[in-house]
């Protein structure tokens, strides 16, 4: 079960990386959206590191 949870966190982390990259490619990236996505990504990274 722990492996499943870790895999889910890693998948969410990868998805957030993709969303951040997509936002940065836009002609006028939304700074608020980028900040929110980066905060979420950091929280997940910290959760992965605690395992």
Residue-wise DSSP of 17-32: HHHHHHHHHSSS--HH
pTM of the full predicted structure? Answer: 0.86
The pLDDT, as a whole number, for residue 51 is 62
Q: Which residues of 19-29 are buried (b: 16+ CB within 10 A; e: fewer)?
A: bbeeeeeeeee
The pLDDT, as a whole number, for residue 38 is 98
- Length of the chain measured in residues: 51
How far is 25 from 2, CA to CA, in rounded Å? Answer: 35
1-51 pLDDT, tens digit per residue, is 778 999 999 999 999 999 999 999 999 999 999 999 999 999 999 999 876
């Amino acid at each position: 079960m722990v492996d499943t949870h870790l895999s889910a966190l890693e998948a969410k982390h990868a998805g957030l990386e993709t969303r951040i990259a997509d936002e940065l490619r836009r002609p006028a990236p939304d700074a608020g959206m980028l900040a929110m996505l980066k905060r979420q990504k950091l929280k997940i990274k910290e959760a992965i590191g605690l395992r």
